[in-house]
Amino acid sequence: FYIQSLYKINSVVDEHRFSLAVERLIALTPVLRTNFYRTRQGRALQIVQREGKLTVNYTAIGKRGQELDTILDSMMEADRRKPFNLAHGMLLRISMFRTGVREYALLLTQPQIIADGWDVRMLFERYFTTEELQSVRLPAKREITYASYLQQRNAQDKATAYHYWQYLLRDL
């Protein structure tokens, strides 16, 4: 299962500065440098890499309104179809779409296995100044209790999740 988040930003985004903020976030957030392996004995291992390299994909979209929403929906769907290799590479994809002079859409895609280990607020706080943060709609901080986590887990389709992870981990 993948977790996707799309954020609309009403501010000028400096691509170089944003990429540096992503690099700092990865350096400071071990879960973003994590991969998962299976030993010959069948044990699962979680390994935190010393370094991680992520390239932010920048794209300009010259559409507005409903047409823009349709394009963003199709880009999100296409990104969901791209698999992650849990044993190699980054388990996060970031795409920044320029949708206007001072308008951007930021797409984050990640496997659920790492999604709960960090908060996207850290990325925004590393990039934007305090004044600039006022123009960004941040998600509310997640207050997840263990009881609500168990309720959410029990509500999931276990057969689908089993087949998904079996497929994803087949080569490990």
C-beta neighbour count of 20 within 10 angstroms: 13
C-beta neighbour count of 74 within 10 angstroms: 10
What integer pLDDT is reported at residue 127 of this predicted model? 63
Contact 132, 13 (CB under 8 A): no
What integer pLDDT is reported at residue 88 of this predicted model? 92
What integer pLDDT is reported at residue 147 of this predicted model? 55
Q: What is the DSSP letter of 18?
A: H
Q: Rounded to 5 degrees, what angle do the CA atoms 134, 137, 146 make?
A: 120
Instruction: Give the model confidence (pLDDT) of 109-148 as tens digits.
Output: 988 888 665 666 666 666 665 445 455 555 444 444 445 5
What integer pLDDT is reported at residue 13 of this predicted model? 86
What integer pLDDT is reported at residue 59 of this predicted model? 94
Q: What is the rounded CA–CA span in Å between residue 103 and residue 99?
A: 5
